[in-house]
Amino acid sequence: MKRVFSGVQPTGNIHIGNYLGALRQFVELQNDNECIYCIVDMHSITVPQDPKELRKHTLDVAALYMAIGVDPSKAIVFVQSDVPGHAELSWVLTCSSYTGELSRMTQFKDKSKGKESAPTGLFSYPILMAADILLYDTDLVPVGNDQKQHIELCRDLAIRINNKYGETFVVPDGRFLKEGARIMALDDPTSKMSKSAENPLSRISLLDDESKIKKAIMRSTTDSEGTIRFDVEQKPGISNLMNIYSSFSGLSIADIEKKYDGCGYGDFKKDLVQVTFEALKPIKERYEEIRNSDELIRILKDGAEKANDISEKTMARVKERFGL
Ligand code: ADP
Ligand code: NA
């Protein structure tokens, strides 16, 4: 059995990129592995947050985990700030990291572009992420492609500390899917779909209604060639839509090309609206049920206790190695 760890930030707008890149792997992995799924609220305060909203979104995302099929009797589900080990280990890792390697993180470079000064939390965020992972002796981290560089840093830190202080951490591997690992924005298929993009039509959120899904897909940016052919370089828009179609329907890209041979974008998009809507409908229904039940708080409390038990063992080992 492998230990699996992953997390999602508690912001609104959890979108189909988050789902197809990361969240659906959570469900797939929970039967044959020891899975730990976290709502990483301390990552969210790297940028300003409204405290009330943050607390609400934490419960929203916990409910969403369960709505997509995460089963708290099989996986540990908990909130990051309920387990002090994350912040504690983060500091220890900070002291084994270099400003040079953190400055090379593309996500930080993007977010701080053109600014003379950036929030320190934004700069050291990948270290907190490494702590999240290493705290649980994690073997596998199911995430989207955009996290590749952060996983690499986490591995570097683990290896560096193991070499210097003796065997301390399990060195984890990222788990990236072939289809869906990088879903692009619908209005601009050259940048990734994100929670924070200003245009709401750039993404489809898991709880969007049919009319919003329709609007976003029908207005999505494609090209003028008009043939349904997968070519990420030349035809990023339609290729992204095919990727979404494939992930939700299970049809391969080749099957989709065959099915829509001779069809126009309009017909394809109309079908994609349906495919997406049908895939999200059961999630939405379960979400409403779970979000309003008292179970949610109990599940998170129970999850935090279990996570604490594991993390305390790791921290005892870390302290012993470092002489703390
Ligand atoms: P975001 O990047 O949307 O702000 P998070 O940082 O909470 O969200 O990421 C949650 C998970 O979703 C991560 O595993 C991340 O790799 C994945 N993810 C985020 N955006 C995309 C995307 N456009 N395509 C595929 N996976 C994504
Ligand atoms: Na991300």
At 271, which CATH number? 1.10.240.10
Residue 222 CB–ligand 1 contact under 6 Å:
no
Q: How far apart are CA 90 and CA 72, in angstroms?
A: 26
269 is in an annotated binding site: no
| Ligand 1 atom showing the smallest separation from residue 18 Cα | 12
Same domain, yes or no: 104 and 249: no
What DSSP state is assigned to residue 185? P
Structure tokens at 47: 């940028």
Same domain, yes or no: 13 and 151: yes
pLDDT in tens, 139-148: 999 999 999 9
Same domain, yes or no: 315 and 281: no
Arithmetic mean of pLDDT over the chain: 96
Residues 139, 173 contacting (CB under 8 angstroms):
yes
pLDDT confidence bin for 98, thresholds 50/70/90:
very high
**Using CA positions, which residue lies closest to atom 10 of ligand 1?**
8
Q: Mean pLDDT throughout 192-212?
A: 96
308 is in an annotated binding site: no
Residue 204 CB–ligand 1 contact under 6 Å:
no
Q: How far apart are CA 164 and CA 159, in angstroms?
A: 9
Same domain, yes or no: 13 and 67: yes
Same domain, yes or no: 168 and 47: yes
193 is in an annotated binding site: yes
What DSSP state is assigned to residue 22? I
Compute the distance from residue 150 Cα to the ligand 1 centre, in Å. Answer: 12
Query: Would you mind telling me the total number of residues written for the chain in this entry?
Result: 324
Q: Give residue for tokens 């997509």.
A: 68
Asked whether residue 190 is domain-assigned, the answer is no
Asked whether residue 23 is domain-assigned, the answer is yes
pLDDT in tens, 40-68: 999 999 999 999 999 999 999 999 999 99
Compute the distance from residue 114 Cα to the ligand 2 centre, in Å. Answer: 21
Same domain, yes or no: 71 and 123: yes
Same domain, yes or no: 206 and 155: no
- pLDDT given at position 12: 83
Same domain, yes or no: 148 and 220: no
Compute the distance from residue 183 Cα to the ligand 2 centre, in Å. Answer: 12
Residues in contact with 171: Cβ distance below 8 Å, sequence separation at least 6, in sequence order = 155, 158, 159, 162
Q: Mean pLDDT throughout 169-198?
A: 94
99: Cα within 13 Å, side-chain hemisphere: 1
Same domain, yes or no: 283 and 298: no
- Is the pLDDT reported for residue 313 higher than 90? yes
Same domain, yes or no: 279 and 208: yes
| Ligand 1 atom showing the smallest separation from residue 185 Cα | 23
Same domain, yes or no: 98 and 153: yes
The complex's ipTM works out to: 0.95
Asked whether residue 85 is domain-assigned, the answer is yes
Residue span of the structural domain in which 87 resides:
3-175+294-322
pLDDT in tens, 212-258: 999 999 999 999 999 999 999 999 999 999 999 999 999 999 999 99
Residue 192 CB–ligand 1 contact under 6 Å:
yes
Asked whether residue 215 is domain-assigned, the answer is yes
Asked whether residue 195 is domain-assigned, the answer is no
Asked whether residue 191 is domain-assigned, the answer is no
Residue 22 CB–ligand 1 contact under 6 Å:
yes
Q: How many domains does the chain have?
A: 2
φ, ψ of residue 46 in degrees (nearest 5) = -65, -20
pLDDT confidence bin for 1, thresholds 50/70/90:
very high
Asked whether residue 258 is domain-assigned, the answer is yes
Share of the chain above pLDDT 90, in %: 96
Q: Mean pLDDT throughout 285-298?
A: 94
pLDDT in tens, 2-45: 999 999 999 888 999 999 999 999 999 999 999 999 999 999 99
- Is the pLDDT reported for residue 101 higher than 90? yes
CATH number at residue 134: 3.40.50.620
Asked whether residue 227 is domain-assigned, the answer is yes
**Using CA positions, which residue lies closest to atom 14 of ligand 1?**
143
| Ligand 1 atom showing the smallest separation from residue 194 Cα | 3
- Is the pLDDT reported for residue 286 higher than 90? yes
Same domain, yes or no: 48 and 159: yes
Provide the edge-to-edge strand list for the sheet that holds 75-79. Answer: 75-79, 34-39, 3-8, 140-142, 173-175
- Is the pLDDT reported for residue 180 higher than 90? no
User: Model-level pTM?
Assistant: 0.95
